[in-house]
Structures are given as C-alpha cells and as structure tokens.
Amino acid sequence: MQRSAAVSATFSEPLLPASVSASAVTLADSNGSVDAEVDYIAEKRQVTLTPKKPLAEGTKYTVTVKGGDKGVKDLSGNPMGGDASWSFTTARSATPTTPVSQARLVTCLASAMYWEKYLVTYADKKQWWANFWAIGAAILAAITNVAIWQEFTDAGGLTAKIAGSVVTVLAGLCATIPRILNHGELAGAARTLRPQYGAMIGNLVDLIKIAPNFDREEAASVVHDFQLIKEKKDQLQDLSHKLLGEDGTDLTGVDDLEYAETRILKTADAVKSIEEALRRQ
C-alpha cells in the first residue's frame, strides 16, 4: 500500500453517521495510534481513514472498527457484535539506482560503528539530566510538604515567605524543564536507534567481506536503509555537542560522509583493516 493512500472499509448496510468517529475507527502501528481523519460516505456505505501525514515506509499498520456501545452502529442503533480489524504494510521507497562503491560502504560502516557506540554516551547524558531535574523537583517538593516548613513560612516573616515562594517556584521549574527539553524521550530514541545501527554494521560487513563481488542492488538497498536510520538520528537534539574518539579526535558531525572518511577511519581499527584488505585486491 502507498504511504499517502487512504484506508477504506465498505459495510453491508448503512451506518449511523454519528457513530462513525475517530474513537470508533482507528489506525495504529507498533508504537500506538496514528492520527487520521475519519469520514463516512453514506451512499457507498464506506468508512475512510485518511492519515494526517504520510505513513512510514515498509511498516505494518492495523485498522480497527470497534463494536459494542462505543463502536459503529447501523441506522437502527444496533452495534456490531465485536471489534473487526485487519492489517496492511506500506510500500518501501524505490531503491536508489546509483551504483554503490566499496568506499561508500566502508564510509557508511565507519559512521554506523561510531553511532552504535556513541549513542550510548548521548542517551546516558540525556537520561542523567532527566533524572537530575526529576530528583531536584522531588526534593524541593518534599521540603515544601514538611510540616515544619509550613510553620516556618507562616511565622518567619517576609523573608521566610519569600524563601517558601522561591522553593515552590523552583520545584515547579524542575518538574517542567524535562518536559520542555524532552531529555527522557531523547534518551529512549537514542537507545532505540543503537540496535538499528548494530544491525546495519552486520549488513555492511557482510557486503564488504565479499567485495568487489557484492550484489549491487542489495548494496544500494543497504545504503538506502542506512540513510533512513541517519535521518532518524539527525532528528535528535543537541548532537552538535562535542564527542571525542578514543584518541581525542573531535568526532562532531561524523556521519557527514566526507568527514567520516577522513577522520573516523583513523580511529576505527576494524574499518581500517577492511579498507587495507580492499586495497590489496
């Protein structure tokens, strides 16, 4: 199925239009519900789901039409006996036809090796900040809830009242900052991407091992998948922070392919060995 196509279902009898809603007819992937507009075409007895943005490629989706009191009903108000659902998988984008060179595979491998390792550092840093603000909010909230603190602010004059107000405001800020900066969500996204880079490393190594006799279409498909992972990684915030390799080399912006080729290959022994093997062929 195409990623921008609408999903429709035709019923054997007319439906009560008011019963056809976004809560009665849903679209979901493995991560949960997907925003979609629900329409009912009475003359065709057809319910249509139109995603509010293009669906992800190569992804399984499930449509559910709910029965019961909160589900769709016929014109007499009779509900379906139970939920009905079916699944479909969206099409993948066409594989790039540009030939893939051995050097490109090696460069992609260098980048994948880097991010498979350093996304852990990024995720740990984000999680540390998420924990820091959460603990700070909890401590400050606990202080303001202690009985003696209330007595102190009530009887301690203007200074005590100001101190109480400041602590209360700080507690609120500590609780709000992680939600604004999305530290926890970013840490989770980085940890999700890491095994994807790990699988990509295996695919790239398998191709490089048989170079230069690898299947060109398969290589193009692997590089295409690498680019999709890279696009997700590029959506993470604060990746511009300096990250250093084991030898102290500044690896910021490493998956720029030219940068990866000139810098990362100096710090990844495994990739250097592969490159040397290619040169000997």
For the stretch 32-78, pLDDT in tens is: 888 889 999 999 999 998 888 888 888 889 999 998 888 999 998 99
Residues 242, 60: Cα–Cα separation, whole Å? 37
Q: Residues 6 or more apart from 11 whose CB is under 8 A from it? A: 45, 46, 47, 72
Q: Which of 139-143, 152-156, 235-239 has the highest mean pLDDT?
A: 235-239
Write down the pTM of the prediction.
Answer: 0.47
Instruction: Inform me whether the pLDDT recorded for 180 exceeds 50.
Output: yes
In the prediction, which pLDDT does 109 show? 83
Strands 46-51 and 36-41: antiparallel
The amino acid occupying position 117 is K
Q: Which contacts qualify for 267-273: CB closer than 8 Å, 24 or more apart?
A: 268/110, 268/113, 268/114, 270/113, 271/106, 271/109, 271/110, 271/113
Beta-carbon neighbour count of residue 94 at 10 Å? Answer: 7
Residue showing tokens 């499930």: 62
Position 207 scores a pLDDT of 85
Residue 141 pLDDT greater than 70, yes or no: no
Lay out the sheet containing 36-41: strands in order across: 7-10, 46-51, 36-41
Whether the predicted pLDDT of 258 surpasses 50: no
Tens digit of pLDDT for each residue in 90-104?
877 655 555 677 778
